């Protein structure tokens, strides 16, 4: 293993990121994003979320997200019933992240 002071292991890096998130986002946070891809398997929903520049429409941030089956059944059914919109890609959403 390289112990150069200019690098860290992946696990160290991810642990540092996790600590920053825990410190600065202690509770749930509402995040605006566009669903750029959406698939489901076994009742779970797998999303790709993105933020695009309002002028150029170029992607400036992206991540993946999962809605687990026991939550997906409730919130997606309610979303589709109340909006008459199919839950799918190309939707701008407000996502509660914890």
Confidence class for position 2, pLDDT limits 50, 70, 90? low
Contacts 24+ apart (CB under 8 A), 71-75: 72/40, 72/43, 72/44, 72/45, 73/43
pLDDT reading at 25 higher than 90: no
Which carries the bigger pLDDT value, residue 97 or residue 75?
Answer: 75
Domain ranges of the chain: 29-97
Q: In what order do the strands lie in the sheet with 59-67?
A: 59-67, 44-52, 29-41, 91-97
The pTM of this model reads: 0.78
Alpha-carbon gap, residue 78 to 68, rounded angstroms = 15
Percent of the chain with pLDDT over 70: 96
Q: What are phi and psi of 64, to 5 degrees?
A: -105, 150
């Amino acid at each position: 293993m390289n112990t150069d002071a200019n690098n860290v292991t992946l696990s160290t890096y991810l642990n540092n990121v996790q600590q920053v998130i825990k410190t600065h986002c202690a509770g749930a946070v509402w995040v605006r994003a566009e669903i750029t891809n959406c698939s489901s398997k076994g009742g779970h929903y797998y999303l790709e979320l993105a933020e695009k520049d309002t002028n150029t429409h170029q992607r400036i941030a992206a991540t993946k997200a999962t809605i687990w089956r026991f939550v997906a059944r409730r919130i997606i059914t309610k979303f589709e019933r109340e909006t008459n919109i199919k839950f799918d890609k190309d939707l701008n959403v407000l996502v509660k992240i914890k």
